[in-house]
Structures are given as structure tokens and as C-alpha cells.
């Protein structure tokens, strides 16, 4: 994740988002208690002012999500360098990244299915909001299949026409094409492909800039979204939000203090207590800045001076991992999608949850490094499974603290995989910096 952007006034954006969250929540609760959501002027306000503002904000996010994910995934794969030169280092990094990310998402989905933090909202209230927004959400991206057909699922991953897939907002086939496209850029090295890679990198920078601009309006949009939700749901919303944050933090803690130590013991033959003592500085920087990129220099220093990892391996694994190994982000996205599905009474089949897991793993590669960078990916997944994307406004008020937690998980995962990859490699292993 990236450092919190600031407004011209110098106030950090996450504080403005929190202020918008509090203002919208407070006003909505007052309306819910003292007036009622069915009052004529409240219906006029929500349908004519606050509702459209929130819809425009989410529409801008949806507009940017496809080119952003495509350019980020292609760029992330292409930056791996020459696949034939990577040898064991590249494949071990790729396999461990997929393996650990899959475990993270499974933990998140299991925790939400077990504790069900989104349950408890009055069915009539949830259905009223679901009916209002679900049709628009379903129209953005095709829904996941209703029945389990694993063969057809994998067939659908390969786009017959990539332009038709993009035009139809078929995100999964487009992400698979992006991975293949990135591999092609790695395998074919020429002045033309170098120029093409620069163009794709430029596209990514443009999308990031536009996303930064859109995110600047998040405090206003959050206030409007929260006003609508709080006016409808009242105090029930606060209880569900606290349960959601607790489940998300608990799942992250389980991955941090159970999965990572087991991976270190089994694959790296390293004492987890010694490992966590050696990476104290990167953990503090990651938690305080909520920025994987800002933590990268500190992680590189700790890898070389504290963990005594080969420099080339540390630089390659940590640099690629800062973009492609987002365990905490993938876990957070899975928890958020299932929580909002429960909140709005959308019953996701096992097949749909497998699709969510798959997209979260791939989405970790393409998550933008800006405040609330996971927001477009979450909105996209919500639309895929027929959950009102407007529900994102519920979680934005607590996102800053969860961002700090998942960034710490991301950085720790990079260092864990660097230890695993370095085991058995010679000191001078040939891995590009």
C-alpha cells in the first residue's frame, strides 16, 4: 500500500476519510432515530443527492479498474526479467507466492464463514437496499456461475476474443490474458518490446494518477454512502462493522503468527522467534507508514544485514514481492467480499467463493499502491457475485487501521519468502536485482 496522500491543507487523506465516515454515520443515525428513512425529505435527499454522489464515485472506480489491473499485472510479470535466467530462484518465488497467498485467502474466507460477522441485519432492511442496487452491480461484471462446473470454469478463463472480454467486463479472462502478455514480454526481448513495456508502464502511471485524483473525493463519497446506509440500518451497522474488523484482524494475526512460522520452520529451517527479532525495523516502518514501497529499502537492509541473505536473491524477491506478493491484501479482499455478501443477504455458493479466492490471489498482483488501493479490486469482485458495490462505504471508516495491519503482513510475507528462496541457493545466485 502507499503512504496516505494529503490534501492541499496538509491534512492526511485517511483523516479526511475518517471524518467523512463519522459525519455520514452520525447524520444517518440521527435520521434513523429521530426522523425515519421513509420521511419524504429523507427519500429525496438519498435518491437525489447523496445516492448519486456515491454512485458517481463508484462509477469512476469501475471505469479505471480494467486498464489499471491489466497494466499492473503485465508490468509486474514483465519486471521479473529473463525467465530462463531466473531458474530456481524465479520459480521458487512464484510458487511460494501463490502457495502462501492461497493460504491467506483460505484463512480469511474460512474465518468469515465460521464467525459470519455480516449476519444479524434485519432481512427486510438488507433486502430493500439489495433490491435498489443489485441490478446495477450485476450489470458491471458478469456474475460467477451458479453451479459447480470446474471444467467450464477453466475453459471460460481463456478469452476467445480479448477485446470482447474487455468490452463485456469479463475480468477473469482479461487477467489471465494479462499474465500471458507479461510472460511474452519477458520471453521476447527487442527494442520494439522494450518500447511496448514502456508504453504499458506509462499506462499504469496514468491510471495510478487518475486513481489518486478520484480517491481525493473519497471523503465526500464516504460521507454520502455512510449517510444512506446509517439512515437505513441504524445502530445495527456499528455492531456489524466492529465484528467485521475483529474477524479481519484475527485472520491476519493467524496468518502472521501461525502460517509464517510454519513456513519458516518447514521450508527455510529457520527459528521464527529469531526471524521476527531480526525484522523488527521493517515491521515498525510497515505498520506506521502502511506502505510496502516505503518499507522496501528497510526490508532490503534487514535482509542483508540481519537475515544475512544473498544480496541478489534479497533484491529480486523483495522487489518483486513488494508488488506481486500481497498476502495481507488478498486476505483482506476475501474477508471484505464475504462480509458484505453476508451483510446484504447474498448467499455465495462454494463455486463462487472459489472464484473470489482466485481473483483475490491474482488481484494481489494488480492492487494499486495508493491509499485504498484495494478498493477497485473489491468493487470488481462484489459486482461479479451480485453484491451491491455501494456497500464498500461501510468498511472505509476502519480501512486505515486494517491497511496498516495488512501492509505489515505483506512485508513480513516478502521476507519469509526471501528466506525460503535463499535456502539451498549459492551465495552468488544469479538473480537480477
432: confidence class by pLDDT, cuts 50, 70, 90 = very low
Alpha helices in 325-425 (DSSP H): 327-343, 350-366, 375-384, 392-395, 399-422
Name the one residue in this structure whose C-alpha cell is 479481519: 248
Burial class (CB in 10 A: 0-12, 13-18, 19+), 213: exposed
Rounded CA-CA distance 230/27 in Å is: 8
Rounded CA-CA distance 75/90 in Å is: 16
102-116, 254-268, 286-300: segment of lowest average pLDDT: 286-300
The confidence score (pLDDT) of residue 22 equals 84
More reliable by pLDDT, 400 or 41: 41
Closest to 128 measured CA to CA, from 240, 235, 228: 228
Assess contact for 295 and 415: CB atoms under 8 A.
no
167-171, 213-217, 248-252, 380-384: segment of lowest average pLDDT: 167-171
More reliable by pLDDT, 291 or 382: 382
Greatest extent of the chain over all pairs of C-alpha atoms, in Å: 73
- Which tens digit of pLDDT belongs to each residue from 33-81? 888 767 888 888 877 888 788 778 877 877 877 787 788 778 766 765 6
How much is the pTM?
A: 0.69
Rounded CA-CA distance 229/54 in Å is: 11
Rounded CA-CA distance 103/361 in Å is: 10
Q: Grid coordinates standing for 114?
A: 465460521
178: confidence class by pLDDT, cuts 50, 70, 90 = confident
Task: List domains and CATH numbers for the chain.
Answer: 13-422 (1.10.3860)
Residue 10 has pLDDT above 70, yes or no: no
Coil/strand/helix, residue 141: coil
CA 239, distance to chain mean position in Å, is 24
Residue 246 has pLDDT above 80, yes or no: yes
Q: What is the mean pLDDT of residues 357-375?
A: 65
- Which tens digit of pLDDT belongs to each residue from 182-222? 888 888 888 998 899 899 889 988 887 887 788 788 788 87
Q: For a pLDDT cut of 70, what percent of the chain falls above it?
A: 76
Rg (CA), the chain: 22
Q: Grid coordinates standing for 321?
A: 514481492
Query: Which span out of 128-137, 330-339, 418-427 was modeled with the highest average pLDDT?
Result: 330-339
Residue 368 has pLDDT above 60, yes or no: no
Rounded CA-CA distance 253/258 in Å is: 8
Rounded CA-CA distance 148/354 in Å is: 10
The confidence score (pLDDT) of residue 124 equals 67
The DSSP result for 151-189, as a single string, is HHHHHHHS-SSHHHHHHTT-HHHHHHHHHHHHHHHHH--
The confidence score (pLDDT) of residue 14 equals 67
Which residues make Cβ contacts (< 8 Å) with residue 283, sequence separation at least 6?
A: 276, 408, 411, 412
234: left (phi over 0), alpha (psi -120 to 50) or beta: left
Averaged pLDDT score across all residues of the chain? 77
Name the one residue in this structure whose C-alpha cell is 501463490: 98
Coil/strand/helix, residue 211: helix
The DSSP result for 267-290, as a single string, is II---HHHHHHHTHHHHHHHHHH-
Alpha carbon dihedral 186, 187, 189, 195, in 10-degree steps, equals -40
Assess contact for 132 and 246: CB atoms under 8 A.
no
The confidence score (pLDDT) of residue 428 equals 39
Write down how long the chain is.
Answer: 433
Amino acid at each position: 500500500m502507499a503512504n496516505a496522500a494529503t490534501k492541499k491543507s496538509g491534512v492526511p487523506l485517511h483523516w479526511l476519510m475518517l471524518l467523512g465516515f463519522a459525519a455520514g454515520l452520525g447524520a444517518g443515525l440521527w435520521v434513523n432515530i429521530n426522523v425515519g428513512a421513509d420521511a419524504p425529505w429523507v427519500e429525496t435527499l438519498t435518491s437525489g443527492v447523496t445516492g448519486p454522489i456515491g454512485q458517481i464515485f463508484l462509477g469512476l472506480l469501475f471505469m479505471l479498474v480494467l486498464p489499471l489491473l491489466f497494466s499492473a499485472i503485465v508490468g509486474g510479470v514483465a519486471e521479473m526479467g529473463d525467465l530462463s535466467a531466473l531458474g530456481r530462484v524465479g520459480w521458487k518465488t512464484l510458487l511460494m507466492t501463490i502457495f502462501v497467498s492461497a493460504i491467506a485467502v483460505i484463512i480469511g474466507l474460512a474465518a468469515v464463514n465460521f464467525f459470519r460477522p455480516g449476519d444479524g441485519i434485519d432481512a427486510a432492511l438488507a433486502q430493500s437496499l439489495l433490491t435498489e442496487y443489485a441490478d446495477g452491480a450485476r450489470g458491471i461484471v458478469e456474475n460467477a456461475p451458479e453451479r459447480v462446473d470446474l471444467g467450464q470454469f477453466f475453459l471460460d478463463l481463456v478469452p476467445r476474443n480479448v477485446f470482447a472480454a474487455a468490452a463485456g467486463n469479463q475480468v477473469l479472462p482479461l487477467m489471465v490474458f494479462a499474465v500471458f502478455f507479461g510472460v511474452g514480454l519477458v520471453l521476447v526481448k527487442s527494442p520494439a518490446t522494450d518500447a511496448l513495456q514502456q508504453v504499458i508502464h506509462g499506462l499504469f502511471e496514468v491510471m495510478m494518477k487518475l486513481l489518486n485524483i478520484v480517491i481525493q473525493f473519497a471523503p465526500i463519497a464516504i460521507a454520502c454512502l455512510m449517510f444512506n446506509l446509517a439512515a437505513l440500518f441504524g445502530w445495527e451497522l456499528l455492531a456489524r462493522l466492529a465484528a467485521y474488523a475483529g474477524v479481519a484482524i484475527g485472520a491476519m494475526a493467524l496468518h502472521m503468527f501461525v502460517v509464517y512460522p510454519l513456513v519458516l520452520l518447514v521450508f527455510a529451517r529457520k527459528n521464527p522467534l529469531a526471524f521476527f527479532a531480526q525484522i523488527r525495523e521493517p515491521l515498525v516502518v510497515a505498520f506506521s507508514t502502511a506502505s510496502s514501497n516505503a518499507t522496501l529499502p528497510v526490508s532490503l537492509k534487514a535482509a542483508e544485514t540481519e537475515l544475512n541473505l544473498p544480496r541478489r536473491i534479497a533484491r529480486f524477491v523483495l522487489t518483486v514481492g513488494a508488488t506481486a506478493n500481497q498476502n495481507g491484501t488478498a486476505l483482506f479482499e476475501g474477508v471484505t467480499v464475504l462480509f458484505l455478501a453476508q451483510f446484504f443477504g447474498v448467499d455465495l455458493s462454494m463455486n463462487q467463493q472459489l472464484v473470489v479466492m482466485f481473483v483475490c490471489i491474482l488481484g494481489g498482483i494488480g492492487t494499486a499502491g495508493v491509499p485504498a488501493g484495494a478498493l477497485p479490486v473489491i468493487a470488481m469482485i462484489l459486482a461479479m457475485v451480485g453484491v451491491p458495490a455501494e456497500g464498500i462505504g461501510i468498511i472505509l471508516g476502519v480501512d486505515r487501521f486494517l491497511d496498516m495491519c495488512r501492509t505489515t503482513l505483506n512485508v513480513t510475507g516478502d521476507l519469509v519468502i526471501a528466506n525460503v528462496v535463499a535456502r539451498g541457493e549459492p551465495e552468488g545466485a544469479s538473480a537480477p536485482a
